[in-house]
Amino acid sequence: MAEPDKIADEVIHRGRFLTFAKTSRGWEYVTRTNARGCVAVLAMTDDKRVILTEQYRPPVGGRVIELPAGLVGDIPLQEDEPLLVAAKRELKEETGYVAKHWTMLFEGTSSAGMTDESVSLFFATGLTKMGEGGGVGGESIKVHYVHQSDVTTWCRDRQSEGIRVDFKIFAAIHLARAVSQSTESRLWY
């Protein structure tokens, strides 16, 4: 089966941040016009608490529990921002923390049937609180500290309250466990 070109044959709509396009075979998708990708950070405190964020997300019409995350290259004159720099910026903006140790866990698509967006997952440890967090530019981000052994139960409890949970939380935890087994096996006990 031949693969269609990614290049859109038709731009259906060009917005301020997104372009809605269609291929010659009729596949509709969206692409970001203001960023090169996304980063998400699994940040863990020295006492094994995972830092999660909660904020209202208009596309789903409700609050979502997520990893600290954000766009890469979306700041004017910083379009070539390195992934790690973006991850550090987002962690500090959303949670107020900076980290000594950073590990790139994985890069993958966020929803390949709908967008070309790529997400780079990072693992951050050696955390120090350096600011208030809560986001920038009108964001209203609530920060949660959940012991690593309680994350699944805690997230299910939030779902039962009607709050959505981003699955990247679990992907990042799985990947961090796999990486740490070869370097710090005690991390997950």
- pTM, rounded to two decimals: 0.88
Q: Write down the number of H helices and E strands in the chain.
A: 3, 11
Question: Are 3 and 71 contained in the same domain?
Answer: no
Residues 58-65: what's their mean pLDDT?
96
Question: Are 51 and 20 contained in the same domain?
Answer: no
Residues 126-134: what's their mean pLDDT?
92
Query: For residue 87, what is the domain's CATH number?
Result: 3.90.79.10
Burial pattern 61-80, b for ≥16 Cβ within 10 A else e, equals eebbbbbbbbbbbbeeeeee
Q: What percent of the chain has pLDDT over 70?
A: 92
Mean model confidence pLDDT for the chain: 90
Q: Cα(22)–Cα(176) distance, rounded to whole angstroms?
A: 37
Q: What is the pLDDT of residues 177-188, one digit of tens each?
A: 988 776 554 554
Does 113 reside within a domain? yes
Question: Are 76 and 155 contained in the same domain?
Answer: yes
Distance of alpha carbon 87 from the chain centroid: 9
Domain of residue 139: give its range.
36-184
Distance, first Cα to last Cα, the chain: 47
- pLDDT for res 5: 53
Does 189 reside within a domain? no
Question: Are 179 and 165 contained in the same domain?
Answer: yes
- pLDDT for res 189: 44
Higher-pLDDT residue of 1 and 22 is 22
